[in-house]
Amino acid sequence: MKLHTKIVLGLALGAACGIAANQLAPGAEWVRWAGDNIANPVGQIFLRMLLMTVIPLVFTSITLGVAGIGDIRRVGRVGARTLIYFLLSTALSAAIGLVLVNWFRPGAGLAPEVREQLMTTYRAQAQGLQAAGTTHFGINTFVNMVPRNPIQAAAGMDLLGVIFFSLVFGAALTLIPEDKARPLVRVLDAIGEAIVRIIDLAMKLAPYGVFGLIFFTTSIFGWGILNTLSKYVLVVLLGLLLHGAVSLSLLVRVFGGLSPRAFWSRIGASIVTAFSTSSSNATLPTNIAVAEEELKIPPKIAGFVLPLGSTMCMNGTALYEGVTVLFLAQVFGVALGLTAQIVVLILSVITAVGAAGVPGGSLPLLMVVLATVGVPAEGIAIILGVDRILDMCRTTINVCGDLTAAVYVARAEGEWDPRPLNEKA
């Protein structure tokens, strides 16, 4: 049985067992014990094995990608194309979300007593987000991209700081004599190969880790919370589905020249990993492997675009933020006109770029957007019960958006030909 088949099987079994436990023994002590002491620890070990490879993988892949591209002017061109694509695809995704939430108005039908019940249940968790999270976004966000200490940035999982240092370091390697740069490039290449082997070992745990992560979530929440917020959940899922099936497919076809069927049929491992881990960072190793092995993207392009994408290309997150802000505005009776909704669109794109690529990483910054347009920030408590399942879905779209960017940049740079893949589709 292939690995991705085992992962899907683990996902399905974990969800089925978790929902069965929630329905047959709601609130039972043994269910909570099994989740806390068996399922979640196994899932967290798998997640941590992937996350521990992220910093060395980002540093080596971006440095080698920049060094491999060579001419510093070409690095700037590739970077500009990458960032423009990220912003355009993310803005398109957020716009789809805003159109849908205005059309279906899911917040208008939520009963006040249900709102108060959800607020009471998740208020402490929302306050914890506000106290512990990064609930501000401004000019200092861009200043802090330049780390005072790159080692400290790596230790703190500050990916933007690590990415900036890697870009500068790779560019510096192109500016020194080749005979001096070559030994270090070979060392970094060997480190990258070793990290790939660690990832292979981690992925052997994937079916069991995925089972544990999904069981832990579904055994706690079951279907009840989904029924309560069903309209909101369906609007978010519909938006993500439309962006993935229509927008990303069109972008791949028009800008990448690749058949959507060929694209989607080859990225299954990335989709399953993103869905199960809810983390763009944890999916990055798999994403790079899929881009290079399945889509045949040159390593220097994949190693440059995808680490940037794991932090800066958040299509699904921007859509989710836009829908959530307008949903909560409808719940609280806050009227947002066209100008306010344009502000929501812009802030959703900007804060999605600043969101951490880890489970729930967008929630603290989402509170900033809520407060900016006059919606009570503590209202985020209403949607916390369904955030995990929506996090899994929006992370999947984030990761797929990263891969479409790699396809576009590789073709635009003349480094890749989609025709062989189209012929096999």
**In the chain, where the domains are located:** 3-424
For residue 89, the model assigns a pLDDT of 92
pLDDT digits (tens, 9 = 90+) for 309-349: 887 788 998 999 999 999 988 888 888 888 889 888 888 88
Contact, 50 vs 209, CB < 8 A?
Answer: no
pLDDT surpasses 70 at 237: yes
Percent of the chain scored above 70 by pLDDT?
Answer: 88
DSSP-assigned states of every residue in 90-129:
HHHHHHHHHHHHHHH-GGGG--HHHHHHHHHHHHHHHHHH
Q: For residues 49 and 199, give the distance between their C-alpha atoms in angstroms, rounded to a whole number.
A: 8
Which of left, alpha, beta for 217 (phi over 0: left; psi -120 to 50: alpha)? Answer: alpha
Confidence at residue 53, expressed as pLDDT on a 0 to 100 scale: 81
Say what the pTM is. 0.76
Best CA proximity match to 18, nearest among 207, 158, 215: 215
Query: Helix-strand-coil percent breakdown of the chain, rounded to 5?
Result: 85, 0, 15
For 35-78, the pLDDT digits (tens) are 889 888 888 888 788 778 878 887 887 788 777 766 666 677 88
pLDDT at 167: 82
Check if the beta carbon of residue 15 is closer than 8 Å to that of residue 43: no
Query: pLDDT band at 264, cuts 50/70/90?
Result: very high
**What angle, rounded to 10 degrees, do the helices at 363-372 and 315-332 form?**
50
Whether 268 shows a pLDDT value over 60: the answer reads yes
CB 406 within 8 A of CB 255: no
Q: Are 89 and 246 in contact (CB under 8 A)?
A: no
Average pLDDT over the chain reads: 83
For 233-327, strand residue ranges (E) read none
Q: What's phi and psi for 206, nearest 5 deg?
A: -55, -50
Q: Check pLDDT > 90 for residue 247.
A: yes
- Taking residues 121-126, report their average pLDDT: 64
Q: What fold is seen in the domain 3-424?
A: Proton glutamate symport protein (1.10.3860)
139: confidence class by pLDDT, cuts 50, 70, 90 = low
Residue type, 114: V
Q: Is the pLDDT of residue 359 over 70?
A: no
What pLDDT shows up at residue 133?
A: 45
Q: Which of 230-234, 285-289, 352-356, 388-392 has the lowest mean pLDDT?
A: 352-356
Least confident of 100-104, 106-110, 165-169: 106-110
Alpha helices, DSSP H, located in 176-259: 178-204, 206-221, 224-228, 230-242, 249-256
Biggest alpha carbon–alpha carbon distance for the chain = 71
Q: Is 101 exposed, middle or buried (0-12, 13-18, 19+ CB in 10 A)?
A: buried
CA-to-CA distance for 363 and 289, rounded, in angstroms?
A: 29
pLDDT at 138 over 90: no
Closest listed residue to residue 283, CA positions, set 164, 398, 194: 398
